[in-house]
Amino acid sequence: MKIPTTLKHKPVIISENYENVDGRYAYNSDAKGLSLGLAQWNDRGKVDVSAKVWRYTGEKWSRQSEELPLHRVLDLAILICRAKLHFREAYRYEKLYDTETPVIDRVGLQGDAMTVAVCTDNEKINEDIKLFSQALSIDDELMGERLSTLSRILKEMGY
């Protein structure tokens, strides 16, 4: 499916037919494409680049299509990787995390740090963390393939 070019987000680099590779939703996804382009929130004289997931309801482009600044996409990737790393050893804890110290890590960024922690304000955290861990385990092959690809590309880039 062709990504629209007449809307506020202006695609520059695209991946059409994303629904064919959208993880466990492959071939049955409303996420029809990904794009990197000029952000819809740009003001005159200011240009931000963003990533967008294009969702289609079958009749029209969905308002649930998401557009994110590129640094947030990378921050989400960092958060995913740190969470996966935590759950490799989480079995050591009765509740899959250290209840005395729910902070998993502080990842240094821009002179400060992004705190990665278990959300203890979630009143059902003990149930939800088990479900989250199971879902990570079920999707391990899908995520592993993508992380390996990302690792290879990062190495090609010199990181």
By residue count, the chain amounts to 159
> What contacts 84, CB < 8 A, 6 or more positions away?
136, 143, 147
| HEC sequence for 88-103 | HHHHHCCCCCCCCCCE
Q: What is the pTM of this model?
A: 0.84
Q: What is the mean pLDDT of residues 94-114?
A: 95
pLDDT for residue 47 is more than 90: no
- Where is pLDDT greater, at 104 or 66? 104
Q: What is the mean pLDDT of residues 7-29?
A: 89
Confidence of residue 87 (pLDDT cuts 50, 70, 90): very high
pLDDT tens-digit profile of 115-145? 999 999 999 999 999 999 999 999 999 999 9
